[in-house]
Chains A and B, each alone.
Chain A
Amino acid sequence: MTVLDQLAAVNPVRSENVAELTPQLPPLRIPPALRSARRSRIVFAGAAFGLSAVAVGSALAVTTNTFESLSSFLSSSAPQQARSAVAAITQSAVVTHRFGPPSAIELAVSANGPDGQVSVYRLQFAGGAVGSVMVDVSNATPHVDGATIGSQEEMTPASGLTVHNSFVGKPATSPVYFSGSVASNVVSVELLSADGETHPVDVANGEIIGWISPSASSAGYIDAELIAQNASGVTVGRVDACGSPTDVDFRAHSSTMPDDVSAACVLPPTPDH
């Protein structure tokens, strides 16, 4: 009896029994078309914020009724950085041209980051689109960051988590902040780093905001995972966060990574300048 015969003798599922597994097959899920997360990038100058504005198709439900008019917001007691960010969006030629100026705004989710408060504000545009802006109110120094404009499909339970944008104030010193959206059935999101440490990510009103600490990187690389769960504790969305502390790539959890972990989620080292 050869070793292959010995192995075949302990086959947990013999080939003649494979057809009997058909009833155990999970329902076939044909994923929706992939979203185009980053259509264009716009740079705003002279504003004290890091922002991402994602104009979203009108199918994305906005169920809260805490929107206020833009003029009211701009004259409110909201943090100056947030008002600056929204004002910059309003004045953006690209945003205005494609979507019109935002007509209303609400605070979606806020969190106390390592350097201070960070928030996601949700915007409504006159044409029915909605978007979001991530604001770091800890950064009082005038800072330039970008806005991401694109279209996006409605979040579904099958695609429970997506990250829209991220920014780093001071590379390798400041955290990498990120914001995104979750499906309506998501009740919690946690950040799982390669060393096994977990950190909760703030979730509210279908939006998330969180950060990856520079200390979470290993040998200069970040290899983490965002996991969204529903009320039953079932994972309904996963996003990989890979890269260097200055350039983290957030992407849908890959099922096609190579076996070698070190090659799966690591960028080549960037030479110091």
Chain B
Amino acid sequence: MKTDEANFEHLYSAYGPAILAYALRRTNAATAQDVVGDTFAVAWRKRDQTPGEALPWLYGIARRVLANERRGSLRRLRLRDRLSYERVPQERETESGVLVALGTLSPREQETLLLTAWEGLTPTEAAVVMGCSANAFRIRLHRAKHKLEQALESTDGPQRGAHGAQEVMG
């Protein structure tokens, strides 16, 4: 048991910052800390399943924790005047056209792109996070990049705004 705890503390110190960064890229600081705590609580319960390459596995847990957190937030948001679901933090949308365009993609497409661009994962590693094969991830990534390019063109071109976005979403 002591060995278990020591190993787990090592896992936490090695990968905790990366999981915190993952969460901070997607939510606010307070929630990010909760996500880290919950992610490692789950990881502790599943410690006998920890793979050799632990980081993608931890990202996968964090992804589900964050989705679950958003699900709980959604209930609370409905409670508070039925605000809309926040997929990308509002302040970032005003900063960058690429993030505005990203916001028009589905959550899965967004995550596919962000795991590559922000976490710097290879398709094989990202596939572990997304729970699919590496080949499937490559296909998803290719399609998501194409959609993002189209969305960027749509958001850049005022003539094609909403119509272009609809085409992208379709």
Contact = CB atoms under 8 A, between A and B. Distances in A.
Interface of A: 2-13, 15, 17-22, 24-26, 28-31, 34, 192-198, 225, 238, 253-259, 261, 264
Contacts of B71: 257, 261, 264
Contacts, number: 130
A92 to B, nearest CB: 33
Given A18-B21, A196-B78, 20 more contacts: A3-B98, A3-B148, A3-B152, A7-B148, A13-B25, A21-B17, A21-B20, A28-B9, A28-B12, A28-B16, A29-B41, A31-B45, A193-B75, A195-B78, A196-B77, A196-B82, A255-B42, A256-B42, A258-B67, A259-B64
Contacts of A6: 96, 98, 152
Contacts of B95: 10
Nearest to B42: A255
- Quick one: which of A3, A11, A26 has the most chain B CB within 10 A? A3
A9 B95 CA distance: 12
Interface residues of B, number: 56
Nearest to A31: B41
Contacts of B38: 255
B20 A197 contact: no
Contacts of B36: 25-26
Interface in B55-78: 61, 64-65, 67-68, 71-72, 74-78
B64 A255 contact: yes
B27 to A, nearest CB: 10
B120 A22 contact: no
Q: Which 7 A-B pairs have the closest CB atoms?
A: A196-B78, A7-B117, A196-B79, A259-B67, A13-B21, A21-B17, A6-B98
B5 interface: yes
B65 A255 contact: yes
B118 A8 contact: yes
A18 B36 CA distance: 14
A268 B107 CA distance: 25
A29 B37 CA distance: 7
B161 to A, nearest CB: 19
B64 A258 contact: yes
Nearest to B17: A21
A10 B17 contact: no
A257 B16 contact: no
Contacts of A264: 68, 71
B28 to A, nearest CB: 11
A128 to B, nearest CB: 26
B17 A22 contact: yes
Interface string B112-126: 011011111000000
Among A7, A11, A22, A261, find the residue whose CB has the most chain B CB atoms closer than 10 A. A7
Contact of B113 (A4, A197, A257): A4
A256 B60 CA distance: 10
Contacts of B65: 255-256
A28 to B, nearest CB: 5
A238 B82 CA distance: 22
Interface string B7-40: 0110011001110110011000100010011111
Given A196-B78, A225-B75, A30 B5 contact: yes
A12 B95 CA distance: 11
Contacts of A194: 75
